[in-house]
Amino acid sequence: MISESELVRERKAKREAYLKEGVRPYGERFFPIEPIRNVLAHFEENKKVRIAGRLMARRSHGKSTFGDVKDEGAKIQVYAKEDALGPEGYERLLRLDLGDVVGVDGTLFTSKMGERTIKVEKFVLLSKILQVLPEKWHGLKDVEARYRHRYVDLIVSDEVRKTFRQRSEIIREIRQFLDGRDFLEVETPMMQPIPGGARARPFVTHHETLDTDLYLRVAPELYLKRLLVGGMEKVYEINRNFRNEGISIRHNPEFTMMELYQAYADYNDMMSLTEELVTHLVKKIHGKEEIAYGEKTMSFKRPWKRISFYDALQERTKVDWRKADVKKEAKRLKIEFDPTHEEIDILNAVFEAVVEPDLWNPTFVIDYPAELTPLCKPKDDDPELAYRFELYIGKIEIANAFSELNDPVIQREKLEKQVEIIGGNKQVDEDFLLALEYAMPPAGGLGIGIDRLVMILTNRPSIREVVFFPQLRPEAKEAEKAPE
């Protein structure tokens, strides 16, 4: 059996041979072409067609050869004969390797086996493959290799390509949904002088001309609120956020968020909008309100369940956490936490451990501790709680929303307290506070994690399955980490 390295050497030698023969192994313009799915959808016997794609299979029988050519959307059988191509042309066809990119001109017919086929009248090599594709039926078995070499993953797996096409469809539908409700799509800075809008560790970079440090944004929130001050009443942004934190099946340091703000609304309006948007997406992708996720199903039928943060904790632990010694009770429940962290962060860890695992069908968790949310309005009847919700689906936090705090005096107090607690890169954004002094209307704000939402809607267990190029440990470090 020929080894993979021998096949690579053989293919590189073919490239050199092509060049000596005056054949261009990396082709030329081959356009216009017809997508294969269109050829199949409008199939007519004896119709002339021109397609391009990758040769994925070949079956030769003497002076005739069948093969499969696949483009981005579909696959079609091709049939070549020596008497049609001539001895030299047919010999060049036999020298093709699986994975070569080819252009084909031919005529449609139906084979004896009833398969729609192109009879090849002319073909051209457009790009010579030098590597070896994974075995057809197994693809890339190593999950790490799949993510690291996504281009190969896309070549060999129809399911992977389908997932990413659905991702694009989901984002397109979100835009159409919001545009149809008179939201305006905007863009705000990706590099910011102050990392504001979320409690997260930022990535730091340096601008040489200005001789100043900048931060890749952890959230667009404070800039979008400036637009509310400026009189733009319904705005949204779909773009990247960056957080210099852990990597897991739910976390990637670079991730896509949709964040929107609506003047004169509140978090109840954001709940209604979220229900409408996500249900619309579910129906668009699946055509129904109940879908599979993993080995279970989940229902998106409205209205969705709403539970209180503290009530849910008390129901599962029999502890009144508003009065309890948080560290003591967390230890009793064997919850892992950093003892140097603030009590409010430990309380959040308890919630993640005891409540989140039960949040399967879409559930709004409301009335969070105000201390967790310095940019959110405190409740009028209980200022220790905030007008905030988080949406959980399949045990995963998908969305976060507030009735936005717009009192500049209270906002300053809360941000200064946060800086005092967190320290590090955290600073008070004085320009944001100045903007609030020009009067920001009451507003509802909503952030949805696009990558996590796509995970749910495409039934994928990891964020790495729905991000083209997820962040990975460098290969050298991965080798050092691997067991012997």
Q: Which amino acid is at 322?
A: R
Q: Which CATH architecture best describes the domain 154-304+361-481?
A: 2-Layer Sandwich (3.30)
Domain boundaries, the chain: 4-133, 154-304+361-481
The reply to whether the predicted model has a pTM over 0.85 is yes
Given CA atoms 23, 53, 464, 191 in this order, what sign does their dihedral have?
A: positive
Residues 6+ apart with CB under 8 A from 404: 225, 261, 375, 376, 377, 440, 442, 443, 444, 445
Residues 6+ apart with CB under 8 A from 2: 10
Q: How far apart, in Å, are the Cα atoms of 236 and each of 185, 186, 198, 335, 433?
A: 5, 6, 17, 37, 21
Which pLDDT score, from 0 to 100, does residue 141 have? 64
Dump pLDDT digits (tens) for 6-65. 999 999 999 999 999 999 999 999 999 999 999 999 999 999 999 999 999 999 999 999
Residue by residue, DSSP assigns 113-154 as TS-EEEEEEEEEEEE---S-PPPTTT----HHHHHHTHHHHH
Which pLDDT score, from 0 to 100, does residue 363 have? 98
Helix (H) or strand (E) holding 61: strand 48-61
Which pLDDT score, from 0 to 100, does residue 424 have? 64
- 31 vs 372: CA distance, rounded Å: 57
Tokens representing 299 are 């229902």
Helix (H, G, I), strand (E, B) or coil at 77: strand
Which pLDDT score, from 0 to 100, does residue 484 have? 32
Helix (H) or strand (E) holding 204: strand 203-207
Which pLDDT score, from 0 to 100, does residue 341 have? 85
Tokens representing 229 are 């001050």
What residue ranges of the chain have pLDDT lower than 70? Answer: 1, 136-141, 423-425, 476-484
Which pLDDT score, from 0 to 100, does residue 483 have? 38
Structural fold of domain 4-133: OB fold (Dihydrolipoamide Acetyltransferase, E2P) (2.40.50)
Cis peptide before 357 (omega within 30 of 0): no
